[in-house]
Amino acid sequence: MSELIIHITGARPNFPKAAPVIAALREHDVAQELVHTGQHYDDKMSAVFFRQLGLPEPDVNLGVGSGSHAAQTAATMVSLEQLFLDRDPALVVVYGDVNSTLAATLVAAKLQIRIAHVEAGLRSFDPTMPEEVNRVVTDRLADLLFATSPDAVAHLGNEGVDPNRIHLVGNPMIDTLLANLDRFDAGVARREFGMEGDYAVATLHRPANVDDPSDAAALVRAMHGMADHVAVVLPLHPRGRGSLEAAGLFTHPNISVVDPLGYVEFLGLVRGARLVVTDSGGVQEETTMLGVPCLTLRPNTERPVTITHGTNQLVVRDDLPGRVKAILSSPRAETWPTPPLWDGRAGERIADVIVRDVRRQP
């Protein structure tokens, strides 16, 4: 009987989550293959993670590229169906909440292949987020649900998921952060971006912030207000480049807009920052571990543990300049809490459960 495990990755946040799981499974004598759907394809959105994180070259790249939700998800499903039929995996491992995650889940479920979801149970309860749709459907169909935090376990319980399928394992993205901590050099980042005093880092890519011109204009006003108080480095996701440039983002002399950075360079920059402004999911978690204050430009978060056990605060656009000023004038925290089990060993815990599952051991 097949013991093959197939990992599905495709978008930037998938790569640091998959790396520790793949590495931990190498310690077991079990066959695994890595699929890249091609959802992200620019060097700095994809290949740089493979070079920096010790990920193996993908066994297959489906090359699906960009498109509407339906077009991208459907193209991924068609390619994966044939691949799964050819390879006959025992288990498909999906990561996070992107369209590649959803596509693989739907295909595997219909082919009656077991599914493991890494980062299960996160909920923003905001149905306008495409990721929320992807999370809810993926968790409904997955057989093994790996949760990063107790709130995620509680959500799955409330949705009627059998507790035997839920595993609270910690956070594999944080495994990757802790494994690479020595490489995050704030001094190098300061020199690279010419920063001498306090500086902030920003990342922006949520459709609700960047897609609509009126949202982009409001966001740019807030960013300019913030930049009146502190220098900002903004490695800009390709999604928002056109709309934010059109709304005048690049015109403030205190904002440096740069291309997306490699993982090591990005976290070096974040480590040295006085604060971070973001709408990213992963960045809320990384700042929590690094003890860097994080203002999340969203009305909600699926990662409330970064507020209760970390450095994260939600902020609305109009309040951004004032909240930034308040952080700049408050003392730096010497210590801060971190979420339980975010200890660098989530990948090992996930691998142990997966290996038992593919070997049909209790």
Report the interface residues with ligand UD1, using CB under 6 A. 11-13, 39-42, 45, 66, 72, 97-99, 130-131, 205, 237-239
Residue 260 contact, options ligand UDP, ligand UD1, none, Cβ 5-8 Å cut-off depending on partner type? ligand UDP
Report the Cα–Cα distance between both ends of the chain, in Å, rounded: 17
List residues bridging with 296 in a β-sheet: 278, 314
* CB contact at 8 A, 347 and 20: yes
* CB contact at 8 A, 40 and 10: yes
Residue 87 contact, options ligand UD1, ligand UDP, none, Cβ 5-8 Å cut-off depending on partner type? none
Element spanning 313, H or E: strand 312-314
- Choose between 4 and 258: whose C-beta lies nearer to ligand UDP: 258
**Of residues 3-22, those binding ligand UDP (CB under 6 A):** 12-13, 16
Residue 238 contact, options ligand UD1, ligand UDP, none, Cβ 5-8 Å cut-off depending on partner type? ligand UD1
Alpha carbon distance 184, 249 (integer Å): 28
Element spanning 259, H or E: none
The least CB distance from residue 88 to ligand UD1, in Å, is 27
Provide, for the chain, the percentages of residues in helix, strand and coil under a 3-state DSSP scheme, each rounded to the nearest 5: 50, 15, 35
Which candidate in 7, 36, 40, 205 is catalytic?
Answer: 205
- Strands in 144-293 per DSSP E: 144-147, 166-168, 199-203, 231-235, 255-258, 275-278
Helices (H), 33-94: 47-53, 69-87
Residue 317 contact, options ligand UD1, ligand UDP, none, Cβ 5-8 Å cut-off depending on partner type? none
Q: Which of 20, 170, 225, 235 binds ligand UDP (CB under 6 A)?
A: 235
205 catalytic, yes or no?
yes
> Does 266 participate in binding ligand UDP (rule CB under 6 A)?
yes
**Of residues 269-298, those binding ligand UDP (CB under 6 A):** 280-283, 286
Residue 184 contact, options ligand UD1, ligand UDP, none, Cβ 5-8 Å cut-off depending on partner type? none
- Choose between 13 and 347: whose C-beta lies nearer to ligand UDP: 13
The half-sphere exposure of 295 on its side-chain side, counting CA atoms within 13 A, is 26
- Choose between 39 and 280: whose C-beta lies nearer to ligand UDP: 280
Residue nearest to ligand UDP (CB): 282
- Choose between 100 and 280: whose C-beta lies nearer to ligand UDP: 280
**Of residues 150-169, those binding ligand UDP (CB under 6 A):** none
The least CB distance from residue 177 to ligand UDP, in Å, is 8
The least CB distance from residue 362 to ligand UDP, in Å, is 34
Ramachandran angles phi, psi of 333, nearest 5° = -70, 135
Which residue, among 167, 168, 102, 110, has the nearest Cα to 136 in the 3D structure?
A: 102
As to burial, measured by CB atoms within 10 angstroms (0-12 exposed, 13-18 middle, 19+ buried), residue 308 is exposed
Alpha carbon distance 287, 293 (integer Å): 7
- Choose between 40 and 155: whose C-beta lies nearer to ligand UDP: 40
Alpha carbon distance 204, 122 (integer Å): 20
Helix 14-26 / helix 346-358 crossing angle, nearest 10 deg:
60
Residue 266 contact, options ligand UDP, ligand UD1, none, Cβ 5-8 Å cut-off depending on partner type? ligand UDP
Question: Mask of contacts with ligand UDP, 22-51, x by CB under 6 A?
Answer: ------------------------------
Alpha carbon distance 147, 139 (integer Å): 11
- Choose between 206 and 349: whose C-beta lies nearer to ligand UD1: 206
- Residues designated as active site: 205
Residues at the site binding ligand UDP, with contacts judged by CB under 6 A: 12-13, 16, 203, 235, 260-261, 263, 266, 280-283, 286
